[in-house]
A and B are shown apart, each in its own frame.
Chain A
Amino acid sequence: DGGITQSPKYLFRKEGQNVTLSCEQNLNHDAMYWYRQDPGQGLRLIYYSQIVNDFQKGDIAEGYSVSREKKESFPLTVTSAQKNPTAFYLCATTGQDQPLYFGPGTRLTVT
């Protein structure tokens, strides 16, 4: 889990509330990513950022928003528009020509 911190490990919210998941890295990597994992399924890309103040939608961006104001931080907001927000959320980073390196994840439960 090294240089990527995701907090908290478990998060509970009521339906209709927005919630922000934290991701911090001290690896000096330019690129950061958010993936979502559902039980028994592979990971799917939500958003990614290759440089500060710039980010792009992944395959399942609807109902999510991000910001990249600092190189070290890439928070993900799960909005009330996300129809099925309960999932395991994984933040990841890459350096130049480096493989994807994942954080420990945040398990979000919305009831």
Chain B
Amino acid sequence: GENVEQHPSTLSVQEGDSAVIKCTYSDSASNYFPWYKQELGKGPQLIIDIRSNVGEKKDQRIAVTLNKTAKHFSLHITETQPEDSAVYFCAASRGGTSYGKLTFGQGTILTVHP
């Protein structure tokens, strides 16, 4: 089955700096890669996703890049703000009818210091 590894497990930055979280996956058939943000005691919320026919996707301060050859994808947050502090999860699936059958990474605790 699929295996997703996520690094780093914790990340501490100053407000205004950039933050980068990286994930690798094992299943070459995976073609859908979402990123979720989870605040304490709440369910995860989708912040951005990318499909394998696209190498990069941006949404304001957030971007995701995908390298299918190397089987890795990354989340980039620019101009970080204290409200970006949360746990971030990457995930992978084969898409299609399997959009919801996600394999998740272990999570990254991001702390943005004012």
A6 closest partner in B (C-beta): B43
Asked if B106 is at the interface of the complex by the 8 Å CB criterion, the answer is: yes
B104 closest partner in A (C-beta): A42
A44 to B44, CA, bound (A): 13
A105 to B105, CA, bound (A): 19
CB of B25, distance to nearest CB on chain A (Å): 13
The answer to whether A33 and B43 have CB atoms under 8 Å apart is no
Asked if A78 is at the interface of the complex by the 8 Å CB criterion, the answer is: no
The answer to whether B89 and A43 have CB atoms under 8 Å apart is yes
Asked if A8 is at the interface of the complex by the 8 Å CB criterion, the answer is: no
A42 closest partner in B (C-beta): B104
Q: Count residues of chain B with CB under 8 A from any CB of chain A.
A: 23
Tally the A-B contacts, defined by beta carbons under 8 Å. 60
Other-chain residue from B43, B99, B106 in contact with A90 (beta carbon distance below 8 A): B43
CB of B87, distance to nearest CB on chain A (Å): 9
B44 closest partner in A (C-beta): A102
Specify which chain A residues have a CB less than 8 angstroms from the CB of B91 in the assembled complex: 42
Specify which chain A residues have a CB less than 8 angstroms from the CB of B105 in the assembled complex: 42
The answer to whether B1 and A104 have CB atoms under 8 Å apart is no
Mask: chain B, 41-72; 1 = CB below 8 Å from A; 0 = not: 11111100100000000000000000000000
The answer to whether B43 and A1 have CB atoms under 8 Å apart is yes
Closest 8 pairs (CB-CB, A-B): A42-B104, A102-B43, A94-B100, A43-B104, A100-B100, A105-B43, A33-B100, A42-B106
Q: Can you report 22 residue pairs joining A to B where beta carbons are below 8 Å apart?
A: A31-B99, A33-B100, A33-B101, A40-B107, A42-B89, A43-B89, A45-B101, A50-B97, A94-B99, A94-B100, A97-B99, A99-B34, A99-B46, A99-B49, A99-B99, A100-B99, A100-B100, A101-B46, A102-B36, A102-B44, A102-B45, A104-B43
